[in-house]
Structure 1
Amino acid sequence: MTLQGEVLLEGPRGRRLCLELAMELNQDIRTAVFWLGYELDSGRGTSRVLLTMVSGENGVADEAAASGSGTSEDQLAAALTALDSTSLSGTTIQLALERSVDTARYWQPPDGEDVLAALPAVRAALLPLADQVLRAPGVQWWDEGRAVEQWAIDWRPADDPAPLPGNLRQALSSWGRNERAEEARAALDRPIDPHAPVSGWWWSFPRGLLRSVGHLPAGLGLVEDSLGWLEATAIPVRGTGRTLEIRTPEDWTELCRRFPLEVTASRRHDWFNTTGRDGRWVIPDWEQAATEWDAVHLTVLGYLRGAGRALQVDTGTATVIAGWDPDCTIWLTDGVRECEGPRQAWQRAGQGESWNRVP
């Protein structure tokens, strides 16, 4: 089935991917997005401060110059509609995808560029580019299921080896106890007002389980909330068993519907900040999900369509895919192990630079 570009624009990460591509292809669009994004950012003047050095008459700054090009949202939309995307390449798309992943955040309001990309006029203007992205060579793997042979990433150099996480059932059991205890504490200690300056655990999956990716070096650059690692060791793994593929937002909400775990008190404030929704929240009860599935894989398209949105589970209840990297498989049982083949050492010169395999 041929997907239409509209599916990329369903979610904030897909829209940001397209906006990043547009900025890469046209410098005037980059300038307009910079200024409009600043104006729309919730942290304007506080967490996001603009420093200008503009001289006017008698040394007074010219306010019009200091506020940028003066491009309006409608003018940006017109520029996006007229954008020439014939030079689109796989490398350009990958870099834009990495920037979209890197700018995801679930503990505070979306940045101004995400807000800008969600405006109806801008979103509509991004549709031709989104169509072009899905037709581009090199993105077909975005909808692929989990490969049997993958890579687990250890963010340490190859001369500091570490065993893969084991006893995943036990880790899930510990997670379940801790998650329920945290929810109970939050219900007692945290205010109901979603605007209260409170933050906590915002991920929607258990930390500490074994995770694997299917593509290198792509998987090294597609990491949410990364710590800016410059070295990594890729460990070849082979997994068997039943895998649930999250290709669409509906795949995720159905999982939450079948195995719901209440997290309203512990997620209320963070997820209100990122989605603007106030209400009941659930995530999958991963212990229960493990009775049916050995692994859950989030495709790149599933991520771009669903991550960071308030996804409706039922009347009055929603969920968020948060903190889960695209093309990442999370293992719920011990059906995965290191397989034959050497571990690979990778490094990069700096944050935002390309990853290169170390001979």
Structure 2
Amino acid sequence: MKIIQASKNGSEDWHYLQGKEQLKNPLVLVFGNRYLLEDEAVLKNIREEFSYEHLVFGSTSGEIMNGNVLDNSISVTAIELEKSTFIIERENISNFDLQPNLLGEALLSKLPKESLKHLFVISEGLLDGSKLIEGIENNLSNAIALTGGLCGDDARFEKTLSSYKENPKPGEVILIGLYGEALEVTYASAGGWFPFGPERKITKSKDNIVFEIDDKPALELYKNHLAHRASGLPSASLSFPLNVTYEGKQQPVVRAVLGMDESQNTLILAGDAPENSKVQLMMASIDAIIDGAQHATELAMKNREKKADIAILVSCIGRKLVMNQRVGEETEYIKETLDASTATTGFYSYGQIAPFNGNDYTNLHNQTMTVTLISE
């Protein structure tokens, strides 16, 4: 595997990590600030500098490269697979009546299944990520894992952009299939957040919209629990996600509050929250978040046969806001834990996609660091 990485801020020149080199038919991951990915001049410059066919774009809430966290930048990672192959497919949510599960099914149906080793998804950030996963996994073998993330837009939540080959636009979901016996892909996800306050029950919801908790308007109850912090909504919600335990399941998932409807008194979450689920507020300390990132890396490295050539890191905008000036510490710890030769790339997102540790089925996570390690 050959990897070339470069980044730039605004009108600055490209800064290369490994030295500029022409690769053979690489997979090119382009992560960047949403405003930059809307700029025609910036996009033209990217295509001139990286004149390859397979460019995948995703807007972010911060870019990750070489153990550093970048803002308002473009980061590019070009990956040449020497013993393996990849196939990329794309669909837009607008073509599926805004039903992510149908889009997921359509995407998977387009990919060949023979020799498929792993799936990586880069998705529109303002959709129900759990429904997207449900659609992709509906006809997927348990032997094939899915990781990835929902695109970001800093803390604005206005719109996200993504694309394959075309210029970035809203609504796009890109599914990357990795093929070949030479590939070794491992992954893990960990948080560092902990629940607090009373445990309650979701009594009325539909998909990712929560109407009532304990038969009371969800938004009103959420504001009451935040007390004086409620004045900082909606951005304050990123620091206080919900711990949701599905009925009949032991392991909870963390759900970020992506939005709220004052007229309906509802909470709009990053993933589904079924009725009768138990729910509890969460918070975290900076040290616990950093420990979570290191723990995810150690889990992903456990029992690997080869060192990873590249680590794709997908963290959460909520973690970034809580850590503030210390945000670079979680990526630095990961870089130090990995082999010195392992390249790192990734982004801060509106949702992280990975199986629970030790399980085959995938979940949408919030407030986690998800690590995907790939080698040939």
Q: TM-score, normalised by structure 1?
A: 0.26
**Which of the two has greater helix per residue?**
1
Q: TM-score, normalised by structure 2?
A: 0.25
**Which of the two has greater strand per residue?**
2
